[in-house]
Amino acid sequence: MLSTLLGSINQQGVSQLFWVSNLSTANHLQTHPRRIAQETTEIEMEDVAQRVNIAQNTIGKNDSEGFESFSEFWNHIFFELGDKRTNGWPLIGSPIPGLTILGVYLLFVKWIGPRMMANRKPFELKELLILYNAVQVFFSMYIVYEAFDGLWLDKYSCFRCENVEWETNEYTMRICRGFYVYFIAKLTELLDTVFFVLRKKDRQVTFLHLYHHTMMPMAAWGATKYYPGGHGAFIGTINSFVHVVMYAYYMFAAMGPQWQKYLWWKKWITTLQLGQFCVAFIHYMQVLFDKNCNYPKWSVIIVLPNAIFFYYLFYDFYEKAYGPSEPAKPKQNGVETKGVETNGVEANGKIVENNIAVGKKYE
C-alpha cells in the first residue's frame, strides 16, 4: 500500500508540475510578446548569417573537404548557394548559357567576323545604330529610375555598407528584377562590338573594349544569382547613369554630321567614365570595414582590382585621345580632311572607342 500511495503522490506531482509549467509558459507568452518577437527575429538573423557564412566559406572548398563528386560540387555552387528568388530565371540558373554567349561573341568578333567581312564592303547600319542606341538609353534610364525610386531616395545610403535582404516580398523582388534587367542590358551591349566588325572598324576592337564587354556580363550574372541587392546596387546605378549619357551621345552622332555642333561634350564622357571607377572604388571599400554588413567581403578581391585596372586603361586612352597631339603632317594635294564618327567613325583623325575618341588614327 505504501508503494501504491507513493506512486499516486508522484503521479499527482508530475501532473501538477506539467500544469505549472504550461501555466508559466502561457503567462510568459501573454506578458512578454515583445521578448518573443525579439527572440524570433534573432533566430531569423542567425539563419541569414549562417547562410552568408556558408557562401563565404564554400569558396576554395574542394572534393576532399566534403564533396564526393564534381557534379555534387557543381550543384552546391550553382544551385544550392544561388538565391532562390532568381535561380530559376532564364540564363541565371547555370553559368553555361552565359559563357556560351560570351564564347560565341569572342569567336565572332576576333575570327569569324573579320574573315567574313574581308572581301565585303562595310555596312553603314545608320538606322539600326540609331534604334540600337535609343534602346540602350531606355534600358539605362529604366535601371537608374528603379534604383533611385526603390533604393537611394529613402532606404539606401552611399555612406554605409548595405545588406542584402533575403525575404521574398514585392519590394525585394523589385530589386531582383532591377539586377536582372541590368544583366540583360550587359548582354545586349555585346552588339557594340558586332557593329564594329560589320562596319570593318577592327581597330576599335581593342583589349579594353573586349575585356570590358566580357567582364561586365559575368559580374552582373554573379550579382543577380547570388546577391541581388545590397551594396552592389551602387555600381549598377552609376554605371547605368554613365550609359544614359554615353548612348545618348552615340544616338545623336549616328544621326549625321548636322548634329556634330551639338556634341561638344564628347570629351567629358570619358571623364565621367573615369570618375565612376574612382567613386566605385571608394564606395566599395566600406564592405571591408563594416562588421555588421552581410555583403561578402571576398567580392572585394574582384571589384577593387578591376576598378583600378579599368581606370588605368581608360586613362591611357584618354591621354592618347585628348593629350598633346603630334605635329600636323603636310596636307596632301592641298586638301585637309576631317571626319566625325560614331560607333566606330573617325573623330578628327582619332580612333573612336565605343564612339568616344581613344587613340590616334593610323596613317
Cα(166)–Cα(173) distance, integer angstroms:
10
- How far is the C-alpha of 321 from the C-alpha of 319, rounded, in Å? 5
Mind listing the pLDDT tens digit for each residue in 220-232?
999 999 999 999 9
Give per-residue pLDDT as tens, 70-87: 999 999 999 999 999 999
Rounded Cα gap, residues 188 and 78, in angstroms: 23
pLDDT of res. 245: 95
Nearest alpha-carbon partner for 185 in 244, 245, 225: 244
The answer to whether residue 132 scores a pLDDT higher than 90 is yes
Of 58-62, 99-103, 202-206, where does the model show the most confidence? 99-103
Q: Among 77-86, 218-227, 267-276, 348-357, which is the least confidently predicted range?
A: 348-357
Q: Which residue has the cell 550543384?
A: 75
Q: Is the pLDDT of residue 357 over 70?
A: no
Residue 200 carries which side chain, given as an amino acid letter?
K
Domain assignments of the chain as residue spans, ordered by start: 33-81, 89-320
> CA 5 from chain center: how many Å?
76
CA-CA distances (angstroms) from residue 352 to 201, 346, 357? 9, 6, 4
Residue 164: what pLDDT? Answer: 93
Place of cell 567581312: 117
Q: 9: pLDDT confidence band, cut at 50, 70 and 90?
A: very low
Task: Measure the CA–CA gap between 320 and 361, rounded to whole angstroms.
Answer: 10
User: How far, in Å, CA of 13 to CA of 20, rounded?
Assistant: 10
Residues carrying an active site annotation: 212
pLDDT tens by residue, 283-298: 999 998 888 888 998 8
pLDDT digits (tens, 9 = 90+) for 31-49: 444 444 444 445 445 544 5
Out of 150-154, 193-197, 288-292, which region has the weakest mean confidence (pLDDT)?
288-292
Pick from 22-26, 86-90, 163-167, 259-263: least confident: 22-26
Q: How far apart are CA 243 and CA 80, in angstroms?
A: 34
Mean pLDDT of the chain: 79
Closest CA to 288 of 305, 304, 269, 277: 304
